[in-house]
Copies of this chain bind each other. A is one copy, B any other.
Amino acid sequence: MKRLRSETHSLDEIDARLLAALEQDARQPISELARLVGLSAPSVSERIRKLQESGIIRSFTVDIDTKALGYPIGAMVRVRPLPGKIHLVEKLIQEIPQFIECYKLTGEDAFFAHMLVRSVEEMDDVLESLVDHAMTYTAVIKTTPVKRRLPPL
Q: Chain A interface (Cβ within 8 Å of chain B)?
A: 7, 9, 11, 19, 22-27, 54-71, 74, 76, 90, 93-94, 97-107, 109, 111-113, 116, 139-153
Q: What chain B residues lie within 8 Å of A23 (beta carbons)?
A: 61-62, 64
Task: From known contacts A62-B26, A62-B57, A76-B112, infer whether A106 and B147 are also in contact, taking CB-CB under 8 Å.
Answer: no
The distance from the CB of A17 to the nearest CB of chain B, in whole angstroms, is 13
In the complex the two chains form, what is the Cα distance from A26 to B141 in whole Å?
Answer: 27
Residues of B within 8 A of A67 (CB): 7
Looking at A25, A55, A151, A153, the one whose CB has the most chain B CB atoms below 10 A away is A151
Q: How many copies of this protein are present in the complex?
A: 2
Minimum CB–CB distance for A112 against chain B, Å:
6
Q: Which of B104, B140, B144, B146 contacts A106 (CB 8 A)?
A: B140
Q: Are B68 and A63 in contact (CB under 8 A)?
A: no
Q: Which residues from chain B contact A97 at a C-beta distance below 8 Å?
A: 149, 151-152
Q: Across the interface, which residues of B come within 8 angstroms of A146, CB to CB?
A: 93-94, 99-102, 113
